Structure 1
Amino acid sequence: MEKFFELVLDFSLEIIPLFLLAIFLAAALEEFVSTSIVERFIGKKDPGSVLVSTTAGALIPLCTCGMIPLAITLKRKKADWVPLMGFLTAGVASSIPALILTAVIAVSLPEVGYKIVVLRLVCALAFGFAVAYVAGLIFDKIIEEKSVEKKDPHQFCKIEECDLCEARQRHHLWAAPRWREVLDDFVVSIKEFAPWLIASIVVAAFISAVASRDIVTALLGNSSWWGPFVGGLIGLPFYLCAGADVPLVIALLSKGASLGTAIAIMVAVPTVNIPAAGLLKKWLGSRPTIIYLGTCWLIAGIVGVLVNVIF
């Protein structure tokens, strides 16, 4: 038990300061980068345009409860499903806060190194690009445009009454000074994401203290082709967004999980979870949500397998 609490403290000291920095930078970028700029990157179905949309999404400082309302707004402005789903998917899998926090893995596990930051970004782009064409083309066939275009983005801003999104709505009404808005968003972001980060730290400490290396290696190691597919489901009960998956990834890598499994966790977990499924269902409906989440899980697993083959 003493070792468990020591690990909780170690993970907290290692990750929380960088988490606060990343959240503050995200709040500042979100305030000063307007939606109109984002709209320019949502193009047509051709591969070049989809790659641009996917890249823009991967660098947006938002997570699921922010990306979905933005995607709804863009869809109301007649964005095509393929680039829109690339933008949404890559944006949830990778963001500036997530990339900053991923650097903690390189510090904790020098044998992994900073290549994991680059891998997270590149794999998020590949993940978003593939999901864009699979899910986007299916959505073209099965979703009635009017049913999704009339949705109000504000009703999707909530993960259990998301304080962050409520604050954004109040900001528009108050017209507060912009840096005041940044600070307010920073505070409510902490309230929104910190509980999930703490949950991730606790689970990571438990894995580090209790889990058998042999079992983790057998289930999630290089010798297990199914490891990335299992990894993609690990975050199902949690809302691990904005890099909150990092403590879990560190713990699993240190116990013998493969690099491909780690990548599958990082790109899949922010989307393939129960809270995100609830938001997506309200926007897309049950059938498209199941198709989208299933596609995300499958492609995340394939990306993870490819990483294991290459590295």
Structure 2
Amino acid sequence: MANSCCAPDSAGTPVEPKHENPFVKKLKDMDRVVIAFILTWIAIAVAAPDQSWSSIEFVGKSLWEIAPYLAISVAFAAYIKATGADSLIGNAFRANAGKAVMVAAIVGAFSPFCSCGVVPLIAALLASGVPIAPVMAFWLASPVIDPEMMLVTAGILGPEFAAAKTVAAVSLGLMGGYSTALIQKLGGFSDPLLIEVNAGCGAGAITRTEKPVWAFWKEDKRRNDFFAEGKSTSWFLFKWLSIAFMLEGIMIANVPMDIIGEWLANTGSYAIPMAAIIGAPAYLNGYAAIPLADTLMQLGLQPGAALAFMVAGGATCIPAAVAVKALTKTPLFLTFIAIALFGSMVIGYGFNIWLSFGFI
């Protein structure tokens, strides 16, 4: 009889099992996002050694700055999971799909969460069975503006511009939500989420029907669910945002925004589409973009183009785009980007038309 550890080949001859190299096995077991982060840092260290440690510092500083928002949003998502409120939320949104898009766009525009901090909330909504359409509306509107950014924008660019940006955030959310709903009616996005979302962010379909238990800490299982969800979501966000901020740091260190800004201010009739296209990858962050937009308008950039730059950049900045890609499959991700770009152009032209009639 052949040795139990050996399997016979087609001729009946025992074949010794292949032993995988331990290093290769460990490499395969490593998280792909962690590997990508390490490889990106190595590439920076080789290509620009003076930026290697500053990149790490930028990642750490960025994570520290958004830590309070992430902590609140992660705790909220874990609370929804532990209490069973996810089914309640899902049922409410499914029952009023049309109204849900409008509510999601408005709530997204006025929510205090940044494009990164909103990720666990999005995961919680997906977990509760909320349709993709209102989730898309919330996701597009949320990064464009928040209450604090609204005040800063009003202080630097004026209350009219701040109001226009707020309307733009809601409008972009509505465009995204209703466009996604239409695509779904036509048979698209039947399976839009990545498998990792189900395992890492708890975004699998939830079909529970029992009433939520708001005081979840009184039950061992629910306490365990709370900490497990918080731990998995925190790790998910930490690894994806680390590589997102690494890429953003490279962009800030190497993209001459002053030169690009001067060129953009002189593009004439193409200013709005070019502002949207350039704003998508070159956007720094919502607050840094405000004085930049002020400078660009002083150089002659149309207000509509400045608004398109800020709206497109806010929705598709590197952290926001990476977060969307981390949770969704490519078709939905590309739709997100397309809606953000096209929608910001429409908003830019609309703002210029509004100004041309002297409404502001």
1:76 alignment partner AA: A
Does 2:193 align with 1:142?
Answer: no
Using the size of structure 1 for normalisation, the TM-score is: 0.65
Corresponding residue number in structure 2 for 1:109 = none
CA gap 1:282/1:51 in 2 versus in 1, 3 angstroms: same
Deviations 1:7-43 (A, max 9, x none): xxxxxxxxxxxxxxxx79x859957x94559986973
SS in 2 for 1:296: helix
Does 2:322 align with 1:278?
Answer: yes
| 140, 152, 166: which one aligns with 2:200 | 152
CA distance in 2, matches of 1:146, 1:289: 10
Shift of 1:268: 1.1
Shift of 1:93: 1.3
Alignment check: 8 A CA contact 2:297 2:303 kept: yes
CA distance in 1, matches of 2:241, 2:265: 39
Corresponding residue number in structure 2 for 1:43 = 93
Corresponding residue number in structure 1 for 2:347 = 303
Using the size of structure 2 for normalisation, the TM-score is: 0.57
CA distance in 2, matches of 1:276, 1:267: 12
CA distance in 1, matches of 2:293, 2:327: 30
Alignment check: 8 A CA contact 1:249 1:262 kept: yes
1:127 alignment partner AA: L
Alignment check: 8 A CA contact 1:97 1:242 kept: no
Does 2:301 align with 1:244?
Answer: no
Deviations 1:254-288 (A, max 9, x none): 11111111211121102224443333222112222
Shift of 1:95: 1.4
Q: How many residues align?
A: 245
CA gap 1:101/1:270 in 2 versus in 1, 3 angstroms: same
| 161, 177, 187: which one aligns with 1:132 | 177
Corresponding residue number in structure 1 for 2:163 = 118
SS in 2 for 1:64: coil
Deviations 1:155-175 (A, max 9, x none): 542476549xxxxxxxxxxxx
Corresponding residue number in structure 2 for 1:182 = none
SS in 2 for 1:231: helix
Shift of 1:56: 0.8
CA gap 1:159/1:293 in 2 versus in 1, 3 angstroms: farther
CA distance in 1, matches of 2:153, 2:199: 34
Alignment check: 8 A CA contact 1:58 1:94 kept: yes
Q: Which runs of 5+ in 1 are unaligned?
A: 1-22, 107-112, 164-191
1:281 alignment partner AA: K
Shift of 1:63: 1.7
Alignment check: 8 A CA contact 1:68 1:156 kept: no
CA gap 1:59/1:151 in 2 versus in 1, 3 angstroms: farther
Alignment check: 8 A CA contact 2:304 2:352 kept: yes
1:69 alignment partner AA: P
| 301, 311, 315: which one aligns with 1:267 | 311
Does 2:273 align with 1:229?
Answer: yes
CA distance in 2, matches of 1:256, 1:146: 43
Kindly report the root-mean-square deviation, in angstroms, between the aligned alpha carbons of the 2 structures.
3.9
Alignment check: 8 A CA contact 1:264 1:301 kept: yes
Does 2:139 align with 1:88?
Answer: yes
Higher mean C-alpha deviation, range 120-129 or range 61-70:
61-70
Percent identical residues: 22
Higher mean C-alpha deviation, range 126-135 or range 47-56:
47-56
SS in 2 for 1:234: helix
1:162-241 matched pairs, under 5 angstroms: 162=242, 199=252, 211=262, 216-219=264-267, 221=268, 224=269, 226-238=270-282, 240-241=284-285
CA gap 1:28/1:204 in 2 versus in 1, 3 angstroms: same
Of structures 1 and 2, the one with the larger relative CO (CA 8 A, separation 6+) is 1
1:43 alignment partner AA: F
